[in-house]
Amino acid sequence: MKNISDVSLDSVKKARELIDSTIVRTPVFKLNNSKDFFPEDCFVKLENQQLTGSFKIRGALNRMNNLSSEQRKTGVIASSAGNHAQGVAYSATQLGVKSHIVMPENSPLVKILATQKYGGEVILKGEMYDDAYKHARFLEKEKGYFFVHPYQDPYVISGQGTIGLELLEQVENLGQVVIPIGGGGLISGISMVLKTLNPKIRVVGVVSAAAPGMKRFFEGEDLSKMKVQPTICDGIAVKNPSPEMYENFISKYVDEIVSVTDQEVSQGIVYLLEHLKTMTEGSGAAGFAALLSGKIKPIKNTCALLCGGNIDLNTVSRVIETGLRTRGRLARIAVVVDDLPGSLDLLTHVIAEKKANVLDVDHDRASTDLLLRQTRIIFTLETKSLDHVKEIKDHLNQMDGFHVD
């Protein structure tokens, strides 16, 4: 295959034959006991448990297995925010091929170290993926390496499409699939397979609100002034979506594209940890977050793809805190009181009566908005829900001499 237009159901089946003995057939879990969130039967496919921690190994392995002997000798180069890097490094090492991976300088450390562990030579360049991509293409010309594109490659797309074949075998009467979109290789391969075999299946793409390029493309909006903001969904933060991917696949096979915020993604990660005991990275949870937040309406036999689990441990605590705070499981309440003995004791007594747990207490006496004999007492509380937080605040506001900021 020379062009992405050559991708077909046959090319995906051939990819499966090549990579099936190496990759993991990742499980599909039904979201039980979740009728409040998901009124219809909904599932998740745990591609975060895939070899190298994401779906990217599928496309990378298929691409590497289709290199010419000359390309294997010269070595390969790739650009990646982290998951494609690991897939290429692992696949290249398995085949005895030297790999060079250009990653953004702010890539999660866990992904950099893993890429090196799999045998890739990591080159850090630029702040965003697009910067790393430009440098990789420069090195391709300068050094003569073969460039392994993270999504716009027929073998990569065919490899990602093998997930579509698995989904049809694992979810009976599959009705809808929810897939994160960065460059578009994942949703292109899967949607082509699903729509070819059953045109009635809905395919919904999910982008980060911080990098909504493909959604704007899909809706015919102007991309010239679009800026990519920092996001925990680093794996799908692509500034310039590919017109070729859109024209050949997304415009033909995708029914809808929605966006999710980092806050919504954080809620999704926390939910998956609590209820499924599975860890996802920001990009990996984006599709599920769209379901959880109501951005996508669940229909019978909807499956969200959890496409990656390579989250930096330094990020986990911040994500969990954001997710808990958004759901009312963690709250920070500031109360302005007269700076008198017994005020703190009275406040903690009220909080205990309301069945909240005090995690931390801080005092602020220096702010210019406070009167001379006032202090602001700031509580970090473990709470049950947003309604529980409101109940505590309302009760404190009704007490003489207390004011909740």
The DSSP line for 97-137 is --EEEEE-TT--HHHHHHHHHTT-EEEE--SSHHHHHHHHH
Q: How confident is the model at residue 35 (pLDDT cuts 50, 70, 90)?
A: low
Hey, which residues does 332 pair with through a beta bridge? Answer: 380
Q: How confident is the model at residue 234 (pLDDT cuts 50, 70, 90)?
A: confident
Give the pLDDT of residue 368.
87
Give the pLDDT of residue 8.
97
217 shares a domain with 234: yes
Give the pLDDT of residue 221.
83
Distance CA 92, CA 98 (A): 6
Amino acid, single-letter form, for residue 33: N
298 shares a domain with 394: no
Give the pLDDT of residue 315.
85
By mean pLDDT, which of 75-79, 98-102, 170-174, 272-276 is the weakest?
A: 272-276
Distance CA 371, CA 365 (A): 9
- 3-class SS shares of the chain: helix, strand, coil, % to 5: 45, 20, 35
Give the pLDDT of residue 40.
75
199 shares a domain with 95: yes
Give the pLDDT of residue 13.
98
CB-based contacts of 317, cutoff 8 Å, min separation 6: none
The CA-atom distances, in angstroms, between 202 and each of 92, 199, 232, 254, 331 are 35, 8, 27, 8, 38
> How big is the chain by its Cα radius of gyration, in Å?
24
CATH number reported for the structural domain that contains residue 74 in this entry? 3.40.50.1100
The CA-atom distances, in angstroms, between 341 and each of 46, 88, 347, 368, 402 are 55, 64, 12, 22, 14
254 shares a domain with 274: yes
334 shares a domain with 313: no
In which domain, by residue range, is 138 found? 1-327
CATH number reported for the structural domain that contains residue 359 in this entry? 3.30.70.260
Amino acid, single-letter form, for residue 340: L
209 shares a domain with 69: yes
- In tens, the pLDDT along 340-353 reads 888 888 889 989 99
Residue ending a domain, choose from 281, 307, 327? 327
- Whether residue 33 has pLDDT greater than 70: no
- In tens, the pLDDT along 295-336 reads 999 899 999 999 999 988 888 888 888 888 888 999 999 999
99 shares a domain with 124: yes
Q: How confident is the model at residue 173 (pLDDT cuts 50, 70, 90)?
A: very high
Give the pLDDT of residue 114.
92
Distance CA 114, CA 313 (A): 13
- In tens, the pLDDT along 3-18 reads 999 999 999 999 999 9
Please classify residue 341 by burial: count the beta carbons closer than 10 Å to its beta carbon, then call 0-12 exposed, 13-18 middle and 19+ buried. exposed
Distance CA 133, CA 237 (A): 13
The answer, as to whether pTM is greater than 0.75, is yes
Number of domains in the chain: 2
Percent of the chain with pLDDT over 90: 71
| Mean pLDDT value of segment 35-55 | 87
- In tens, the pLDDT along 314-324 reads 888 888 888 88
Give the pLDDT of residue 36.
60
Residue ending a domain, choose from 264, 297, 327? 327
Give the pLDDT of residue 50.
97
282 shares a domain with 346: no
- In tens, the pLDDT along 370-396 reads 888 889 999 999 999 999 999 999 998
Residue ending a domain, choose from 327, 353, 383? 327
274 shares a domain with 389: no
Q: How confident is the model at residue 170 (pLDDT cuts 50, 70, 90)?
A: very high
Give the pLDDT of residue 82.
84
116 shares a domain with 3: yes
- For all residues of the chain together, what is the average pLDDT? 92
390 shares a domain with 287: no
106 shares a domain with 20: yes
- Whether residue 39 has pLDDT greater than 80: no
